[in-house]
Amino acid sequence: MINRELFWFGVVGVTAMAVHYLLVTRLFVPAGLTPLLANVAGFLLAFVVSYHGHRHQTFRARHVPHRRALPRFFAVACASFAVNEAMYAALLAHTALDYRAALLIVLVTVAALTFLLGKLWAFAGVRPS
């Protein structure tokens, strides 16, 4: 079961990460938002992809009410995003990395935290349907 979960976590995570990355780099920053503000907007839109993908595929928690799973997973996502934003700000301020490379490093690094908290808390105690 863990292999299936890791596979779908990867698929959903890469999809949400691509949505996040492309919105920031192809839409929001070119439209004039600062990279850090664009990152917030990208996170919020990618969250929708992440929540539904993890709920339906990764953790197969369709039977868990949204009123339980959504706030928990949003808390997980927000904690992960807080780490994301702090790391991103540090990389932008203290390295010569391009904002796109820094964002990619941060998104990949924070993914492990999201998986663990999602599995052990947000969708905990659910059995695959």
Is residue 79 scored above 60 in pLDDT?
A: yes
Rounded distance, CA 115 to CA 9, Å? 7
From residue 54, alpha-carbon distances to 14, 77, 79, 119 in Å are 12, 12, 17, 10
pLDDT tens-digit readout, 17-70: 899 999 999 999 999 999 999 989 999 999 999 999 999 999 888 888 888 889
Query: Phi/psi at 123 (nearest 5 deg)?
Result: -115, 25
Model-level pTM? 0.76
Specify the 3-state DSSP secondary structure of 60: coil
Q: Is the pLDDT of residue 111 over 90?
A: no
Mean pLDDT of 87-103: 95
